[in-house]
Amino acid sequence: MRYLLALAGNQNSGKTTLFNRLTGSNQHVGNFPGVTVEKKEGPIKNHKDAVLVDLPGIYSLSPYTSEEVVTRDFILQENPRVIINIVDATNIERNLYLTLQLMELQIPMVIALNMMDEVRASGNSINVARLSEHLGIPIVPISAAKNEGITELINVVISQAESPKALPRLDFCTGEVHKAIHSIAHIIEDQARSAGYPLRFAATKVVEGDEPTMESLRLTENQLDIIGHVTDEMEEKLGTDREAALADMRYSYIERICADCVKKHRETNEQVRSEKIDRVLTHRIFAIPIFFGIMLLIFWLTFDVIGGRLQGLLESGIDFVTGLLGGWLAEVGVSGWMTSLLINGVCAGVGSVLSFLPIIVLLFFFLSLLEDSGYMARVAFVMDKLLRKLGLSGRSFVPMLIGFGCSVPAIMSTRTLSSNRDRKMTIVLTPFMSCSAKLPIYGMITAAFFPRHGALVMISLYILGIVTAILSALLLKGTVFKGNPVPFVMELPAYRIPSAKSVLLHMWEKAKDFLKRAFTIIFLASIVIWFLQSFDWRFNLVSDSGTSILASLGSVIAPIFAPLGFSDWRASTALITGITAKETVVSTLTVLTGAAGEAQLSMALNTIFTPLSAISFLVFTILYMPCVAAFAATRREMESTRDAIFTALFQTGAAYVVALLVYQIGRLFI
């Protein structure tokens, strides 16, 4: 019989690392709070019936963030047989806060006390047996990263699942809160049962005044009245409000048991080291210049020193293969249109995009270094003050940084933002951060028009994206998204040396994604585009693509872009196909111009654009609505088709306005 095990714990406590150990899978591990945004599941190694679910990292069971809601709903509705609560032993007090709440759910639990390697190395110790006795829960000390204690943990978990020996103890509270919880438990007993809530959990939530729980309990007027009296009395006697009263109770209990079980002479080596590093990297004055320095270094290495060179190599490789194929097709005597489809359609289209693989992989390499080392969390912290001026919080910075790689994971990572307003606003702005799929477009245009100022144009485009985001934020803050961002709360994880495995895995995943796109969407798009531009409406092969089906379709929308300086039907067609995936802009233009190789493409582009309209085209491409995948992510995260469409329209509108300004103002000078 299949049964579920839930893995729950604070953010950055090592959940994913443990999940990978327990299931033998390869999920992405990151030293950044909130990396795991979707729940993942897999069977425990050698115990195929036990399915482990990796839940998002949370600090409490109060539904402040959507992850807390996910976790709570999962545990209440799916009824896992055992909860594995992973506790970061280097931050044990804060981690146990969640433990106490999980205990109220009255589901058999096992604590995996993680990071014991760090505790040991710093000469601290934890009396595990004693702690287990206090909580009434089996505890297994482990180190997920070092693969210690995993077998032991599996054994304990499986034996709990097969015959639970103990349910967590409950009565750790005393005094007024204790009285309130107990009297309310009596009052709501029946409703808690019919709503399917563990009684103790329901009672605590009612004392806390937790809205969703109160609603689903369907309490009567009368009951609400009595509950009001009980909590009022509690608040009065304690002199604090209800939420604080419960938090106090939990923390004082945690303090008491930790005093008994935890010997902490000093902070762990990692914590000491992190403090030293932070004195520099989060320095009041130097922090921001250092960050920009690091980003510049990354871009320089990616686009120029390493990535640029690798790209050149790959390009010649692709040209060589195309040449070989062309020669062979001619030799065999394949018909003209088939040769054209393969060479001018497929090879040109896919090839023009494929050469960007090294740059994209490299960009993700650096982004994952930033994330895994723990630096990304600092950046969020440092940027908080600046972003607050724009109506956002430091938390929003991370999705934006990830957005330089790809908008899809960036938009998904907004799930870690606790307020709906902050989340939606971040989703609207993130796609302005130029994603890696747009790089081929910049590459193509700069090669054709500004071969000697490539770097300058690229950097200006990135900056333009950021400036547009800033201006949009200012605009939205005063209109659609009134209100204030939530205060910044994010724990700064200890700096850790990123594991080579994790980084390589991340790069490989991105490379795979990119290759998959090149050989599916872009491959298909290249063929379709070739077809539409090779035939007219009566399906005659045309010699001049200006009379093709595509030309007549493209000409319908082309006039819209005339004020931006490019009214050629090929440009507007490329923009439309670019919505499937941004790289398609390049493959489309390559196919449409029938260019073989970069030199020919550059010449052809010079007939479509002037240098100024080429810039206006670039401006439009970086800002207009992101690809369908990002649009789908937007819709999913905003949970509203209307809002997603608004977002796409807003982005496209902004693109139009900025490109129009660039072109019209530019014309005054040129």
Q: Which residues bind Mg ion (CB under 5 A)?
A: 15-16, 35-36
Binding-site size for ligand GDP (CB under 6 A) equals 24
* Dihedral angle over CA of 552, 556, 560, 562, nearest 10: 40
* Residue 325 Cα distances to 81, 334, 336, 520, angstroms: 59, 11, 14, 20
**CA–CA gap between residue 557 and residue 562 (Å, rounded):** 10
Minimum CB separation of residue 17 from ligand GDP in Å reads: 3
**Residue found under tokens 């945690």:** 254
Q: Examine residue 307 and tell whether it contacts ligand GDP (CB under 6 A).
A: no
Q: Examine residue 268 and tell whether it contacts ligand GDP (CB under 6 A).
A: no
Q: Are the C-beta atoms of residues 93 and 255 closer than 8 Å to each other? A: yes
Residue ranges of alpha helices (H) inside 196-241 are 199-208, 211-217, 221-238
Phi and psi, residue 209, nearest 5° = 80, 35
| 114, 124, 548, 572: which one binds ligand GDP (CB under 6 A) | 114
H/E stretch holding 447 reads helix 439-449
* Nearest CA among 513, 589, 547, 205 for reference residue 361: 513
Stretch that binds ligand GDP, among 29-37, 150-158, 560-568, 652-660 (CB under 6 A): 29-37
Q: Examine residue 13 and tell whether it contacts ligand GDP (CB under 6 A).
A: yes
Q: Are the C-beta atoms of residues 115 and 95 closer than 8 Å to each other? A: no
Pairing state between β 125-126 and 262-263: antiparallel
Q: Examine residue 16 and tell whether it contacts ligand GDP (CB under 6 A).
A: yes
Residue 594 binds which entry of Mg ion, ligand GDP, none, CB below 5-8 Å type-dependent: none
Neighbouring residues of 290: CB distance < 8 A, sequence distance ≥ 6:
280, 281, 283
Residue 65 binds which entry of Mg ion, ligand GDP, none, CB below 5-8 Å type-dependent: none
Minimum CB separation of residue 73 from Mg ion in Å reads: 19
Minimum CB separation of residue 112 from Mg ion in Å reads: 14
CB atoms within 10 A of CB 1: 4
Q: Examine residue 416 and tell whether it contacts ligand GDP (CB under 6 A).
A: no
With respect to ligand GDP, which residue has the nearer C-beta, 20 or 355? 20
With respect to ligand GDP, which residue has the nearer C-beta, 29 or 44? 29
364-393 footprint of ligand GDP as x/- string (CB under 6 A): --------x---------------------
Residue 144 binds which entry of Mg ion, ligand GDP, none, CB below 5-8 Å type-dependent: ligand GDP
Q: Are the C-beta atoms of residues 363 and 436 closer than 8 Å to each other? A: yes
Residue 571 C-alpha from the chain's centroid: 32
**CA–CA gap between residue 36 and residue 299 (Å, rounded):** 26
Q: Examine residue 274 and tell whether it contacts ligand GDP (CB under 6 A).
A: no
Minimum CB separation of residue 108 from ligand GDP in Å reads: 22
489-528 footprint of ligand GDP as x/- string (CB under 6 A): -------x--x-----------------------------
Q: Examine residue 139 and tell whether it contacts ligand GDP (CB under 6 A).
A: no
Q: Check residue 169 and report its DSSP letter.
A: P
Phi and psi, residue 540, nearest 5° = -90, 140
Q: Examine residue 115 and tell whether it contacts ligand GDP (CB under 6 A).
A: yes
| 23, 36, 213, 344: which one binds ligand GDP (CB under 6 A) | 36
Residue 11 binds which entry of Mg ion, ligand GDP, none, CB below 5-8 Å type-dependent: ligand GDP
Q: Examine residue 11 and tell whether it contacts ligand GDP (CB under 6 A).
A: yes
CB atoms within 10 A of CB 146: 14
Q: Examine residue 472 and tell whether it contacts ligand GDP (CB under 6 A).
A: no
Q: Examine residue 434 and tell whether it contacts ligand GDP (CB under 6 A).
A: no
What residues line the site for ligand GDP (CB under 6 A)?
A: 11-17, 29-31, 35-36, 57, 114-115, 117-118, 143-146, 372, 496, 499
